Structure 1
Amino acid sequence: MSSLLPLAVVTGAGSGIGYALTQDLLTRGVEVVAVDRDTSRLDERVQAYEFDVRDGAAMQELAESLSSRPVHYLFANAGVGVSGDVLSSPEQAWQWAWDVNVLSVIRTLRLWWPQLVAGRGKAVVTVSAAALQSYPGAGPYRATKAALLSALEGLYYQALGDGVGVHALCPGLVRTDITEVNRYAEVAHATPAEPNPFESFMRTAMREAEPADAFARRVLDGLDSGAPFYWFTHPETMDWTEARHRAVVGAGTPFTDFGALA
């Protein structure tokens, strides 16, 4: 591909939101570097790299191999939907969620930051509306997404003088296979044996969720028209988020039921 094309880096590109972003970026004439543990579905036009984002050496080697290329878009999208309650979730579940959802994202941003500065690019990190909501049954997922959002708030201030846009993408329900954790070997040691109410809700809700390809188009259109830092893409999540914050300010209690306002 021509080096004159704008360059995008996408992690978690093999499925779900990452795959849909990769496909749509290609239609917009963007060169894509894609990272995933399974890249078998990706278009042959993609520069696909098949490894785990937790592999810091591989991530560093890739970033260094493209150190001369300005990056226009970085989509730090890789994540795992580790469910489970706070106390019943094994330590391996917490570590898995932390390593993928937080540490690997920060590493990705750090390694590609010089190229983002060179390209005056945009860093879009897939967080979740869950980062600012409260519900039972998803302790590792919610906690790590909340931690990630806090880290991005710190990065926002650091980025002000670098010319890089930072966007905390906080979607609601998007139809992906994030709930299909059985595809990961880690699930044998990191998840409870029985599904909880949150998992059951998600499996049902996913059937009616927004398709990933439609969501990806909205995200890329939003970037072109000027996306915010706190990027809540699904208005239906806002009432619940605002109610949770009213409970915090009013010294109340967390919600007592999934989907019910405090």
Structure 2
Amino acid sequence: MPTALITGPTSGIGLSFARRLAAEGYDVVLVARTESKLSSLAAELGDRYGVEAETITADLAEAADRDRVAARLRDEERPVDLLVNNAGFSTGGHFERNEFSALRSQLEVNVTAVLQLTHAALPGMLARRGGDVINVSSIAGFLPGRGSTYTASKAWVTSFTEGLAAGTRGSGVRLLALCPGFTRTEFHERADIDMSGLPRSFRLDADFVVHESLRDLRRGRAVSVPGNQYKALASVSRLLPRWLVRRVAGRTARGRD
């Protein structure tokens, strides 16, 4: 059976990935900070789908914890066929009002962990001439944010993944940047971002996001933007002059990403 390693699988998009991949027959390696949630999810997936569910309790903002997850990805006796770098968070609010420690933790999780874990997984996949990496980015990465640096971190994830996808073409390894819009998860509540004014048509379901991403991955695409409304937004943001994109983003962000 193939094996998938998923970071941040206990809620939202990560939870949908864990359940969908287990349903497809993947054994799973679940990586998150809270041991009790990991154990509960592992038991659920094992009982429901008959797969093996391994857990690694790790805070990806911490170098030692990232090293342990990277070591698991380099273990060729237990190869990982699909890496889903899903863990990430936003501090919300104005850049200058955030504590530097919080911004640094955000950078470590959103950028450094994606870099390190992809770097750990890719050599083995290339040697086996097969494997997949999904890096969860955001539609926010297409737009400048004047708030917490979240948009900048996601712009990096998308560009990083696109570059690797181009560089590994023909190798049997596929890489995808998943760029969802606003998805019904705990993400915005944790970041203290009020989404009450967002039209329902712009709120995505996590299962839909995961379905679209896997379909795009298997079609050989390097970037997945689920939902026609967000595909249009991504296209427009690339066509408009950057000064106009900055002006629109500045008026609508209200200090938040």
Aligned mates of 2:58, 2:20 — CA distance in 1: 22
* Structure 1 SS opposite 2:116: helix
Q: Which residue, out of 94, 98, 106, partners 1:97?
A: 106
* Higher fraction of helix: 2
* Structure 2 SS opposite 1:52: coil
For 1:34-49, what aligned pairs fall within 5 Å after superposition? Answer: 34-38=30-34, 39-44=38-43, 45=46, 46-49=53-56
* Percentage of matched positions with identical amino acids: 25
* Structure 1 SS opposite 2:76: coil
Alignment RMSD: 2.7
Q: Which residue, out of 127, 143, 148, partners 1:133?
A: 143
Q: Which residue, out of 69, 72, 79, partners 2:88?
A: 79
After the TM superposition, which of the residue ranges 156-165 and 11-20 deviates more from structure 2? 156-165
Paired position in structure 2 for 1:18: 14
For 1:109-120, what aligned pairs fall within 5 Å after superposition? Answer: 109-117=118-126, 118=128, 120=130
Deviation at 1:135, TM superposition (A): 4.8
Closer/same/farther in 2, CA of residues 250 and 69 from structure 1, 3 Å limit: same
Deviation at 1:95, TM superposition (A): 0.9
* Structure 1 SS opposite 2:96: coil
* Structure 2 SS opposite 1:75: strand
Aligned mates of 1:180, 1:236 — CA distance in 2: 23
Amino acid at match of 2:72: L
Q: Which residue, out of 207, 214, 220, partners 1:220?
A: 214
After the TM superposition, which of the residue ranges 34-43 and 103-112 deviates more from structure 2? 34-43
Paired position in structure 1 for 2:153: 144
* Structure 2 SS opposite 1:176: coil
After the TM superposition, which of the residue ranges 17-26 and 69-78 deviates more from structure 2? 69-78
Q: Deviations over 1:146-188 (max 9, x none)?
A: 1222222332233235321111111112111112337xxxxxx
Paired position in structure 2 for 1:63: 73
Deviation at 1:6, TM superposition (A): 1.2
- Gaps (5+ residues) in structure 2? 47-52
Aligned mates of 2:198, 2:244 — CA distance in 1: 31
Paired position in structure 2 for 1:257: 251
* Structure 2 SS opposite 1:108: helix
Paired position in structure 2 for 1:52: 59
The TM-score, its normalising length taken from structure 1, stands at 0.79
Q: Which residue, out of 189, 207, 218, partners 1:180?
A: 189
The TM-score, its normalising length taken from structure 2, stands at 0.80
CA contact (8 A) 2:216 2:224 kept: no
